[in-house]
Chains A and B, each alone.
Chain A
Amino acid sequence: MTAHHPLKPLLLALALFAGSGSAGADRTLLNVSYDPTRELYQAFNKEFIQHWKSKTGEDIEVQQSHGGGGKQTRAVIDGLEADVVTLALSYDIDQISAKAGLLPKDWQNRLPNHSVPYTSTIVFLVRKGNPKQIKDWDDLAKDGVSVITPNPKTSGGARYNYLAAWAFAEKRYGGKEAAKDFVKKLFKNVPVLDSGARGSTTTFIQRGIGDVLITWENEAFLALKEYGAAEFEPVVPPLSIKAETPVAIVDKIVDKNGTRDLAEAYLNYLYTPIGQKLVAKHFYRPALPEHAEAADLARFAKLELITVDGQFGGWVKAQAEHFDDGGSFDQIYTP
């Protein structure tokens, strides 16, 4: 066997690939998350694996699963063995507790800041030069403006979009009826309802449909980073909604897999200075901003943020009133 076997690099790569699987790792952790956190957790997992190795000497693997928030939640309820969930809404984790009993009802009190290590908000992304002059929510309901947003029935992010528009109209025009009229007008301007946030981003950016994309703040920043500020620009409305994206350990699964210590360390690591720095670097607003880089924090615009609890009486009520069958979202589509 000569030293320079032509297939050697390939074999080496294969061996490395196999080694990075569960064969080499002592334990694995599965993090089930929603769509736009892919990049954040890719970076975070790398840091955490190193941290765990230097602390305990154990080799671990962290697997991540992403998709529309509703679909991911349902997968966990139906048996996907997530050690931890990092989802878009507390309502989704409440459902995992209520429907499958995988974690206690009071899960949200178990980690700092109500189990919300980072937040985000809802902003707009428009085409360069902002040809339709979109500055605030009421510009989205004007005639001739084409708006891209996912379906609130299938996407957690879209539910924040919808509630933010609703909250704006309730403040501006006063009353629920006015708010419903406004949201109805806004959704008349939506030509495509994708099922998740990433799908809508693709529709707007790659397919070139629509004048404005209503999206997560972090997703807007990411789009600007990927596609350059030459084509798009972000617009931050004066008022929006605070998107609280919670994390939780799935008790029954970690006890079964023997990964409770790992899962606890993993989620707590999100609150450490390193975790918070990474969170801010990936365009999420950190729960403990004192740990983040000043340059990263400077990117976040100051705006008035309403909360689901404050404005809509919590997720259970908001879900029943707006998104369940027969709720306001269905009503605006009644012909």
Chain B
Amino acid sequence: MPQSYIMPGFKPALGFTLLYLTLIVLIPLSALLLKSLQLSPDQYWALLTNKRVLASFQVSFGASLLAAAVAAALGFCIAWTLVRYPFPGKKLFDALIDLPFALPTAVAGIVLATLYEPKGWIGSWLLQAFGIHVAYKPLGIVVALIFIGLPFVVRTVEPVLQEFDSAMEEAAASLGAGRLQTFLKVIFPNVLPSAITGFALAFARGVGEYGSVIFIAGNMPYVSEIVPLLIITKLEQYDYAGATAIGLTMLLLSFLLLLLVNSLQWWVRRRGGQL
């Protein structure tokens, strides 16, 4: 592979990468593994099959998947709008997209809870007009996670759309494709891999999100209790081994899901290339 020698200082760069991975990722994760090994396999199994723990896994992963899916669809629309149409205040709007990255998550959580609670501006309207209860219900978690996940999708889809060669669209049009057909058969397959990346990032962030969720979730066991809260609860009871065991399980599940998403992306990209 002569290409890898193009970058000068390959050896120090690789050395730094390995050092970084060891210090920041591998050592803490092995510590997590070691701490959770304090539990016997039976204890570990009993902990994981505890109904309350299972329910919280369901809440965390379910809400994150749903929120990431919604964020992927909405984020695609926003990226499309930002890339394709000029409108007044576009630069400002573009900058606002990143706000959830910078905002402390607790602030986001408090603001969202205030807006969506039954007496809040949006919440009271949703409740009266549609009977939809958002804050302090599982739906509140989804809303918070969409807010957190949206920028991930926009920022991964945007550059792909920007670099998208409009000659391909023109070619499709000149070959007689309608607008919908052009979108479905030409644009969508090209953007899909980046949308999946955005989805995966939003999902991964959602699973671990704590600050913005606990304010709007209501935190009721079996209903709206997320895994990170359960980990904190275990810590407050000085159950360090239990907390790390749940954390480790979450890590494994997230890793498997991300692997799945990545292979899906790889499959889509390969298939897209053959088109």
Chain A residues at the B interface, C-beta cutoff of 8 Å: 68, 70-71, 74, 77, 95, 99, 151, 153-154, 190-195, 206-209, 323-325, 330, 333-335
Chain B positions 209-226 with a Cβ under 8 Å from a chain A Cβ: 214, 218-222
Chain B residues at the A interface, C-beta cutoff of 8 Å: 51-52, 113-114, 117-120, 136, 214, 218-222, 229, 232-239, 242
Residues of B near A325 (CB, < 8 A) are: 234, 237, 239, 242
- Return A208 CB to nearest CB of chain B, in Å: 5
Q: A74-B235, A191-B220 are in contact. List 14 more A-B contacts (CB 8 A).
A: A70-B236, A95-B238, A154-B236, A192-B218, A192-B219, A194-B219, A195-B219, A207-B113, A208-B117, A209-B117, A209-B118, A325-B239, A333-B52, A335-B222
- Return A197 CB to nearest CB of chain B, in Å: 14
A-B contact list, 14 entries, CB within 8 Å: A71-B236, A74-B238, A154-B236, A191-B218, A193-B219, A195-B214, A195-B229, A195-B232, A207-B114, A208-B119, A209-B119, A209-B136, A333-B222, A334-B51
Q: Complex: how many Å from CA A144 to CA B117?
A: 18
Q: Complex: how many Å from CA A71 to CA B232?
A: 9
- Return A263 CB to nearest CB of chain B, in Å: 25
- Return A203 CB to nearest CB of chain B, in Å: 9
Q: Complex: how many Å from CA A68 to CA B113?
A: 20
Is B232's CB under 8 angstroms from A154's CB? yes
- Return B214 CB to nearest CB of chain A, in Å: 7
Q: Complex: how many Å from CA A74 to CA B233?
A: 12
Residues of B near A335 (CB, < 8 A) are: 51, 222
Q: Complex: how many Å from CA A330 to CA B51?
A: 11
Q: Complex: how many Å from CA A192 to CA B229?
A: 14
- Closest 4 pairs between A and B when the two form their complex, measured CB to CB: A70-B236, A333-B221, A193-B219, A192-B218
- Return A328 CB to nearest CB of chain B, in Å: 13
Q: Complex: how many Å from CA A195 to CA B228?
A: 13
Q: Complex: how many Å from CA A77 to CA B229?
A: 20
- A77, A154, A193, A207: the one contacting B119 at CB < 8 Å is A207
- Return A188 CB to nearest CB of chain B, in Å: 10
Given A207-B113, A207-B117, A334-B51, is A153 in contact with B242 using a C-beta cutoff of 8 Å?
no
